[in-house]
Amino acid sequence: MLTAGLIVSALLGLIFLCAEGLAMLLLGRLVSGISAGIFTGTATVAVIESSPQESRAKATLAATASNKLGLGLGPVLSGSLVEFLPWPMRLPYAAHIVLIVLALLLLQRVPETVQIAERPTLRMQRIALPREVRAAFIPAALAGFAGFVVVGFFAAVSPQLMRGVLGYRSTLLIGLAVFLLFACSAFGQAIEKQIVQRMRQRVGCALLIAGLICVACCACQRSSVAFFSGTVLCGIGQGISFRAPLGEIANHTPALRRAEVTSTFFVVL
């Protein structure tokens, strides 16, 4: 499944590389969603299942933090390519394909985590929740969803804020601002265990609210300090409100249904 996700991701890179109009761009986004749908939940569970039982908490952090750092490094790489090299509308997608090929090569060294039948049959996996996980899933999904709403809002709006309100023009600087958000998310995931368990999701959501207030002040006051403060608060809040629910769900999910439940969680996000 990981190989299939990477191959689909390479295909979307080719679509964007060759795109000449809106239809091709929309097709690329559709294929991008399919790739993320195949890969994200599967990769998260693969990292967790590859680790010893006593290291599962660290494995969960590694899986989720690498996800966020990858999302943050993408805009930095693209911003650098656009800022300093020719072919700005195509080169980032060429770099994407090169990275996918590298990932495919590295994936061949990853051990399998499940027993494979001699003649496996592929089927669509139904999105469902086992009864024993439902009570934990609903509040966890709400907190995680709130965090992703803020991240999606920020990723869409922050470049316009930096250009139109704060007057920044550097694509590299804009990419670094997005990276700051996701790096703070990874930091939030790292410190999440230091918070009392029943307060983790509340603290994450409170930081999200505070960060959004700072971003609103940035738009009203044209304040760079408010913008970067909001970025840091939103990132840390999103990290806490993402990892805490994921760990809570993993603790209540039967081992054989972990991929199914994790994928359901990511669908909600």
Q: 122 in a domain, yes or no?
A: no
Q: 32 in a domain, yes or no?
A: yes
Residue 259 has pLDDT above 80, yes or no: no
Residue listed under structure tokens 């907190």: 143
Q: 194 in a domain, yes or no?
A: yes
Entry pTM: 0.79
If one counts the domains in the chain, the total is 1
E-state strands within the chain:
none
Nearest to 218 by CA among 208, 229, 210: 229
Query: pLDDT for 135-164, tens place per residue?
Result: 888 888 888 898 889 888 888 888 888 988
Q: 120 in a domain, yes or no?
A: no
Q: 119 in a domain, yes or no?
A: no
Higher pLDDT, 254 or 166: 166
Mean predicted confidence (pLDDT) in 164-172: 89
Confidence label for 269 from pLDDT (cuts 50, 70 and 90): confident
Q: Find the domain containing 247 and state its range.
A: 2-113+132-268
The DSSP result for 120-165, as a single string, is: ----PPPP---HHHHHHHHHHHHHHHHHHHHHHHHHHHHHHIIIII
Are the C-beta atoms of 138 and 265 separated by less than 8 Å? no
Phi/psi of residue 27, each to 5°?
A: -60, -40
Are the C-beta atoms of 227 and 162 separated by less than 8 Å? yes
Query: pLDDT for 209-241, tens place per residue?
Result: 999 999 999 888 899 999 999 999 999 999 998
Residue 74 has pLDDT above 80, yes or no: yes
Q: 207 in a domain, yes or no?
A: yes
Q: 102 in a domain, yes or no?
A: yes
Confidence label for 101 from pLDDT (cuts 50, 70 and 90): very high
Q: 126 in a domain, yes or no?
A: no
